[in-house]
């Protein structure tokens, strides 16, 4: 082994030792895999808030921001019930500056940016004819991505790949005005698909959130069955490129139902 290889190995061990942690408690579903989180969460959240504000500004200029009052109330009511349950995974998320908005667009899309910035597109609701339970499954899935800081994890991984471990280890010291971090939030944390393990985590955590909020977690299965049919019909939306549907996904959701159904039953009994 060459000296360069030794140095790279040492840096890798250092990175894993200083940057690996879990962003959440496990909950009933044990969602606490160790993650590589080298980038400052404040940097990522600031970048996400800026990107979200830009999206809302564009939608407002186009007359597409919260245009349907009834639909907006529905989305916000479901989101707020889910947000009320986030403390089971991380207590600090209760204090996030959560925002929920509906964008009138034929796109099948929804997301929750880092720090709790939620957007749901009307095309997703209308084309799939989502019930409240199914809409809770989608929003819960997106909230789970934010709770697990999957965008921050992706950005950390990309910095390691593109800039080298030595720079990645210094990311916690980067100032708030660093343009590269904001660019990475938009390009990596929002536009690129999450890994298979991240998608699986978001599926399972999302089911737990909806169950605790009193939404039937079986709807997580039915909504992905609807998405399977939609993508099979040739839909080209960005949502399907970043959230691939499939039988394996549905099978995993079914496998995890026994862990969350008692939570749903208790929540329903308490309402």
**Residues assigned a catalytic role:** 142
Give the CA distances from residue 219 to residues 211, 216, 237, 250, 269, in Å, rounded to whole numbers and listed in that order.
Answer: 10, 6, 22, 11, 18
CA 115 to chain centre: 10
- Please give the Cα distance from 7 to 173 (Å, whole number): 22
String of b and e for 79-91 (b: at least 16 CB within 10 Å)? bebbbebbebbbe
Output DSSP code: residue 271.
-
* Separation in Å, CA 176 to CA 37, 46, 50, 152, 195: 17, 8, 12, 15, 27
What is the per-residue DSSP string for 167-196?
Answer: HHTTGGG--TT-HHHHHHIIIIIISSPPPH
Q: Which of 114, 117, 136 lies closest to 125, judged by CA?
A: 136
DSSP labels, 36-90: E--S-HHHHHHHHHHHHHHHHHHHHHTT-BS--HHHHHHHHHHHHHHHTTGGGT-
Query: 89 and 59 in contact (C-beta within 8 Å)?
Result: no
Q: Are 108 and 124 in contact, with CB atoms under 8 Å apart? A: yes
């Amino acid at each position: 082994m060459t000296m360069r290889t030794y140095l790279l190995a040492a840096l890798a061990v250092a990175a894993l030792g200083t940057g690996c942690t879990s962003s959440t408690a496990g909950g009933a579903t044990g969602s606490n895999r160790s993650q590589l989180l080298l980038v400052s969460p404040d940097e990522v959240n600031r970048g996400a808030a800026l990107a979200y504000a830009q999206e809302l500004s564009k939608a407002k200029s186009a007359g597409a921001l919260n245009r349907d009052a009834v639909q907006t109330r529905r989305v916000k009511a479901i989101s707020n019930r889910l947000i009320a349950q986030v403390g089971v995974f991380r207590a600090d998320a209760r204090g996030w500056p959560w925002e929920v908005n509906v964008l009138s667009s034929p796109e099948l899309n929804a997301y929750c940016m880092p720090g709790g910035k939620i957007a749901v597109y009307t095309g997703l609701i209308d084309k799939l004819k989502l019930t409240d339970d199914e809409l809770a499954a989608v929003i819960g899935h997106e909230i789970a991505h934010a709770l697990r800081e999957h965008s921050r994890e992706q950005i950390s991984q990309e910095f390691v790949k593109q800039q080298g471990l030595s720079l990645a280890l210094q990311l916690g010291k980067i100032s708030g005005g660093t343009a590269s971090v904001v660019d990475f939030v938009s390009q990596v944390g929002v536009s690129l698909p999450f890994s298979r393990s991240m998608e699986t985590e978001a599926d399972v955590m999302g089911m737990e959130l909806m169950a605790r909020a009193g939404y039937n977690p079986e709807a997580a299965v039915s909504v992905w069955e609807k998405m399977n049919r939609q993508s099979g019909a040739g839909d080209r939306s960005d949502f399907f490129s970043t959230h691939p549907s499939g039988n394996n996904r549905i099978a995993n959701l079914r496998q995890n139902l026994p862990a969350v159904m008692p939570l749903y039953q208790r929540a329903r009994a308490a309402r």
